[in-house]
Structure 1
Amino acid sequence: MRKLIARFVLQEDINFLLTNRVPRQLLTRFMGWFSKIEQPLVRDLSIATWQLFADLDLSDARQTKFRSLHDCFTRQLRDGARPLDHDPKILISPCDGIVGTCGAIVGTKVIQAKGFPYTLLDLLGDPALVEYYRDGSYVTLRLTSSMYHRFHAPHDCRVEKVTYISGDTWNVNPIALRRVEKLFCKNERALIVTVLAAGNQRITLVPVAAIIVASIRLHFIDVLLHLRYRGPNVIACQANFAKGEEMGWFQHGSTIIVFAPKGVTLRDGVIESKAIRMGQSLFDLPH
């Protein structure tokens, strides 16, 4: 039964209609409310339904009982569940995910999916950052609904500001990425520019929200970034992180795009469609 349901939902046309030709923002707000209901029957039925559509593995979760569906989505990991690559020349993956497009930035052009490019300016909206990442490297990390949804510092670093960009809530699965031009540039997102403690390179993390997931929580600012947040768009802060330290989380799951300047290169094993876990090596820093 589960395989039949999955096969039906994964058909490209049906999947696109179900997840995009709906009132996306209304559905997202409804799910934000519904997922926090702490009634045991609602919680248990919701998690059981979720398990019909996804390979939900809670064996590495810190707790085994949850107050609500939301509590399960935003679960923390038990200690030691994600070993870190402590090599100081390595930038680690900030999250669990599946590698999407990745590689060199051609001038200021990045690939969303085959035949669907976008520019750094479209996504970042900051000419100074655009020039900084010209001819650099990037990787797109897609978090599926069943994955661990928290993200962490890729290296010892500090964050001095967060830029929030309001937007839509298109699904960010591969089907939608092949059909909607400049999708990441349309969706709600945050720009988190980290300055590495050693070398002062700037590594930018761009968490991109999606349908049902338009809510980003960061530990170091006292603001929940969501569809009804209207500013200020640039939020000053002073936050220092150790490599692997938790920075924040999505309410459900979405995408994080990581940008690195010229001279910082992707590891050889980081390839499209490969699953990666938080703490594993992602980029090589210059010697």
Structure 2
Amino acid sequence: MIQSLYRLMIELTNRRWSSTLLKRFARSSASKWVVPSFARTYKINQEEMEKELGEYKSLHDFFIRRLKPGTRITEAASDAIVSPVDAIIEDIGPVVPELEIHVKGKVYSIAEMLGSAEAASPYREGTYMVLYLSPTHYHRIHSPVSGTILNQWSLGSRSYPVNALGLKYGKGTLSKNYRMVTEIDYGSGRLALVKVGAMFVNSIETVHEGERLKKGEEMAYFSFGSTVVLLFEKDGIELAEDIVLPAHVKVGEKLGTLTPRH
């Protein structure tokens, strides 16, 4: 019963009124009593947590928890791109010349995802990667490379589920949900990190300051369920050979090797 309730609350709620009510509850001190059952239901690894379970003041406070220092190790090789999140890699594929990607049998326009054909143009015939974060996962986002932020902008107004069923049966979730795009120049090329909200409007909070990013550095966090889409330029990445979909990854683990722009 509890598991069904949480799945309904966290993964399927998207109406403005219900989202607002749940958001208020999750941020209130009254929600503290559900933290232990949430942790049990989603089998949260408490050994990794920065604080003890009883120290979290609300469900929201617990959901955006940090980890103990050293819990995640970032691949040190300078040409390695690493996972920005703990997640399941749901899909990897090409960006076709029409600036579209095919995810779970559905077609998404990356021009719509990024807001314009001009913004999407650098990724024509490039590669995309979809990383889904369930309620079980650690929900802070780290930089996948060292580099400079070229631009950052937000789009969309409502958020629908982005889990496997949401991607399969939803309507334009990756390109219509509330999302924040961060474009990073890593010296030999650029990539776009698209943070896609899954339930609450404005559920993505940035924490980094300045334009410089260090690989593995914390960038932002999701308030609730969410997805990250990575977009690479043509021939911009050589994927790690050991990735078999759906692949479970953690922050800092190698996704592939960056290749110089031509």
| Deviation string, structure 1 residues 173-206 (Cα, Å, up to 9, x no partner) | 111211123221121001111111x32x111110
Structure 1 pair 60/19, CA: closer, same or farther in 2 (3 Å)?
closer
1:242 aligns with 2:207: no
Q: How does 1:50-89 map to 2 (within 5 A)?
A: 50-51=38-39, 53-64=41-52, 65-89=55-79
Aligned residue type for 2:47: S
**Is the 2:85–2:140 contact (alpha carbons within 8 Å) kept by the matching residues of 1?**
yes
Aligned-partner SS, 2:18: helix
2:194 to 206, 220, 224: 206
Q: Distance in 2 between matches of 1:121 and 1:160?
A: 18
**Structure 2 partner of 1:33:** 24
Q: Distance in 2 between matches of 1:23 and 1:285?
A: 37
Q: Distance in 1 between matches of 2:72 and 2:88?
A: 16
The alpha-carbon deviation at position 23 of structure 1 amounts to 5.7
TM-score for both structures, normalised by structure 1: 0.81
**Structure 1 partner of 2:228:** 256
1:285 aligns with 2:258: yes
1:110 aligns with 2:101: yes
**Structure 1 partner of 2:32:** 43
Structure 1 pair 47/258, CA: closer, same or farther in 2 (3 Å)?
same
1:101 to 73, 91, 107: 91
2:170 to 163, 176, 180: 180
Aligned residue type for 1:243: K
Q: Any unmatched runs of 5+ in structure 1? A: 222-237
**Is the 1:213–1:253 contact (alpha carbons within 8 Å) kept by the matching residues of 2?**
no
**Is the 1:96–1:149 contact (alpha carbons within 8 Å) kept by the matching residues of 2?**
yes
**Is the 1:112–1:182 contact (alpha carbons within 8 Å) kept by the matching residues of 2?**
no
**Is the 2:111–2:118 contact (alpha carbons within 8 Å) kept by the matching residues of 1?**
no
Q: Distance in 2 between matches of 1:129 and 1:245?
A: 25
Which stretch has the larger CA shift, 248-257 or 262-271? 262-271
Q: Any unmatched runs of 5+ in structure 2? A: none
C-alpha RMSD of matched pairs (Å):
2.4
Aligned residue type for 2:38: W
Structure 1 pair 18/85, CA: closer, same or farther in 2 (3 Å)?
closer
Aligned residue type for 1:240: R
**Is the 1:106–1:135 contact (alpha carbons within 8 Å) kept by the matching residues of 2?**
yes
The alpha-carbon deviation at position 214 of structure 1 amounts to 4.4
**Is the 2:150–2:183 contact (alpha carbons within 8 Å) kept by the matching residues of 1?**
yes
**Is the 2:149–2:184 contact (alpha carbons within 8 Å) kept by the matching residues of 1?**
yes
**Structure 2 partner of 1:216:** 204
The alpha-carbon deviation at position 160 of structure 1 amounts to 3.7
Aligned residue type for 1:278: V
Structure 1 pair 9/248, CA: closer, same or farther in 2 (3 Å)?
closer
**Structure 1 partner of 2:143:** 153
TM-score for both structures, normalised by structure 2: 0.89
Q: Distance in 2 between matches of 1:28 and 1:52?
A: 23
Aligned-partner SS, 1:178: helix
Aligned residue type for 2:18: L
Q: Distance in 2 between matches of 1:79 and 1:9?
A: 29
**Is the 2:11–2:225 contact (alpha carbons within 8 Å) kept by the matching residues of 1?**
no
**Is the 2:145–2:216 contact (alpha carbons within 8 Å) kept by the matching residues of 1?**
yes
Aligned-partner SS, 1:35: helix
Structure 1 pair 213/96, CA: closer, same or farther in 2 (3 Å)?
farther
**Is the 1:263–1:286 contact (alpha carbons within 8 Å) kept by the matching residues of 2?**
yes
**Is the 1:25–1:169 contact (alpha carbons within 8 Å) kept by the matching residues of 2?**
no
Identity of aligned residues (%): 23
